[in-house]
Chain A
Amino acid sequence: MTANRLSDGAVVYFDAAGGWSLNFAEAATVSDRVAAEALLDRAMPAVKARLIIEPYLMEVALDTDGWRPTRERERIRAAGPTVRRDLGKQAEGFGFKG
């Protein structure tokens, strides 16, 4: 589950501890629709607390390097602009690589 942080729009991921991480590698994963829907309910406190906006579920797949967003859009959100490798998460040390 991903969202944007209210204060600066940064991409965040719901993590296993129930918090929100800037790092895609720390994102919690679930493997069925029922669990996924339940995850969305767990975003509501952070929405109400004005930490995040517009939470939604994203699809990931497991490959040899670990979990990987299936869509290009999400790979770019997890890393930063591909045309500016010096900016965004990839420049701050926790960008998705792949």
Chain B
Amino acid sequence: MYRYDEFDHRLVAERVQQFRGQVGRRLSGELSEEEFRPLRLMNGLYLQLHAYMLRIAIPYGTLSARQLRMLATIARRYDKGYGHFTTRQNLQFNWVKLAEVPDLLADLARVEMHAMQTSGNCIRNVTADHLAGVAADEIEDSRIWAEIIRQWSTLHPEFSFLPRKFKVAVTGSPRDRAAIAVHDIGIRVVRNGAGEVGFAILVGGGQGRTPVIGTWIRDFLPRAELLNYLEAILRVYNLLGRRDNLYKARIKILVNAVGADAFRAMVEAEWATIRGGALALPEAEIARIRAYFAPPAYRALPTVDLASAVRDARDPAFAAWARTNVHPHKVAGYAAVTVSLKPHGGVPGDMTAEQMDALADLAERFSFGEIRATHEQNLVLADVEQAALPDLWRALGAAGLATANAGLLTDIICCPGLDYCNLANARSIPISQRIGQRFDDLARLHDIGPLKIKISGCINACGHHHVGHIGILGVEKHGAEAYQVSLGGSGDENAALGEIVGPSFSADAVVDAVETIVATYVGTRTADETFLDTYRRVGLKPFKEALYAAH
């Protein structure tokens, strides 16, 4: 994985010192809250309902065992013994104290981590496919490009005060596991007719109160021009994006206002002025970054057919876990493993310090000491020998990390909601907990098959409800929590926005509504149809009728 060079080290160390001074001046009264707020937000420090929350950047979700151990230490030393993995592959601590944050950041810097650009109107932490480097269908490791973008965007002076926040995601595969269609810029590594590797570029996707699936503006961008082209997009947005209305400030609003063709023309015109210029990537530099993501020292192992090995496993509990949580790997004899952070009845994405330490040990024992965070709030061990899967499964189980539900109904994306968040209108975690308890029967869960539920506690959509197969949005209605349900959303390569089924449900009724939706699907599906297949075939109507039949 990437290791800091002298510039990274100096930059992060300087930032810790600057923030130490800023916190000191705030506590001594030299800075007012109005002066201090933008400074703390530039360092990922929010004020939430009960305490300050610190959001830590995990570039493209990749962590070393050493870094995960430091996060465990920080959870114990500065927080209440746990952290929360987010939908942007970041980690949040919920209970930090202002005066202690500079020491916390200094500890973090010791393992090459920081909290910069996890807030504010800048280019945020770049996300990527959590199976980067190991997926069989991959053209190229997306982390190489995410790292190049990270270096370019870090403290970029021209783009530190954009009209609004800006999110970039990269996938190296045709299959999209990084939800690129709902990012301000989505990048897909592609090969052109001549066999050259380059990028397809999508702009103006996003969720929030105005959900939009992004528009492709370029089918093929030569590799060397990646940063020049991104610079051109950002420049057009920075000049023309609205600054008068918070709700109309994202690039998706601009693209919609001027039209995709006009937007593309402006980007291409800007690109023409800088093409081949200072940001053109030399092959040697690409090779230097690529070397950081060179494959680990795999052993030569016999090819094993994963599906038949799982079928033949004698322990049905292991087989159930392997069926959903183990993924094919491009190297013979290896597999990638989803470490579920979705125990039934637990808090999606939460992880205790003890679990972090345990997983750091397991990563070293089984997966070359590397861990990835996924945007679906799980973790991945990407390079596990297939023969070691039963041992890993037992060890994960002992740490409470082996729930056999990856990609199934209880593998829910869920924002912190009104239990923690200052912006939320309704709680989201208790809904996911009750769904987990209701669908606790593993055989039933596996029979229902792939089904993504995503829950947000407000219109800002941190819980990705717009792209949930079943999306649940918490609202406040006459002073009480209520939940709007949508169906048919998807965040993958066939991205779609969900359609709202009808009037909202009370907190008591919403789990029953999910049950009704699932029953309607099970009663309607043909042999091999997934929930989404069935929905796309039959549409909203049968679900709507079943849900509102009694009214």
Partner-B contacts on A (CB < 8 A): 4, 6-11, 47, 50, 53-54, 70-73, 76-77, 80-84, 87-89
Q: Is the CB of B476 within 8 A of A72?
A: yes
A8 to B52, CA, bound (A): 7
Q: Is the CB of A82 within 8 A of B49?
A: no
Query: Cα distance A84–B430 when bound, in Å?
Result: 10
Determine whether the beta carbon of B50 is less than 8 Å from that of A9.
yes
Q: B418 to chain A: which residues have CB within 8 Å?
A: 72-73, 76
Residue from A8, A11, A83 within 8 A of B430 (CB atoms): A83
Size of interface on B: residues with Cβ below 8 Å to A: 29
As a 0/1 sequence over residues 409 to 420 of chain B, the CB contacts with chain A under 8 angstroms (1 = contact) are 000000000111
Count chain B CB atoms within 10 A of each CB in A10, A70, A83, A88 and give the residue with the most.
A83
Q: How far is the CB of A9 from the nearest CB of chain B, in Å?
A: 4
B420 contact from A10, A54, A81, Cβ within 8 A: A81
**Contact partners of A70 in chain B: CB under 8 A:** 479
CA distance A75 to B424 in the complex (A): 14
Taking CB atoms, residues of chain A closer than 8 Å to B433 are 83
B311-343 vs A: 1/0 string, CB under 8 Å? 000000000000000000000000000000000
B190 at interface by CB-CB < 8 Å: no
Instruction: Verify A4–B426 contact, CB threshold 8 A.
Output: no
Does A7 lie within 8 Å of B427, measured CB to CB? no
Q: A82 contacts which of B29, B48, B80, B427 (Cβ < 8 Å)?
A: B427
* 23 A-B pairs whose Cβ atoms sit less than 8 Å apart in the complex: A7-B98, A9-B47, A9-B48, A9-B97, A10-B50, A11-B50, A47-B33, A50-B26, A54-B47, A71-B476, A72-B418, A72-B426, A72-B480, A72-B481, A76-B418, A76-B419, A81-B420, A82-B419, A83-B419, A83-B427, A83-B429, A83-B433, A87-B80
**Does B99 count as interface, using CB distance less than 8 angstroms?**
yes
State in angstroms the CA–CA spacing of A86 and B476 once bound together: 26
Given contact pairs A71-B479, A82-B427, A8 touches B97 in the complex (Cβ within 8 A): yes
Instruction: Answer whether residue B347 sits at the interface, using C-beta atoms and an 8 A cutoff.
Output: yes
Instruction: Name the residue on B nearest A11 (C-beta).
Output: B50
If A9-B52, A10-B51, A80-B50 are given as contacts, then 20 extra A-B residue pairs at C-beta distance below 8 Å, sorted by A number, are: A6-B27, A7-B97, A9-B47, A9-B48, A9-B50, A9-B51, A47-B33, A50-B26, A53-B47, A54-B47, A70-B479, A71-B476, A72-B481, A73-B49, A73-B424, A81-B419, A81-B420, A83-B347, A83-B427, A87-B95
Shortest 5 CB-CB distances between A and B: which pairs? A9-B51, A81-B419, A9-B52, A8-B97, A83-B429
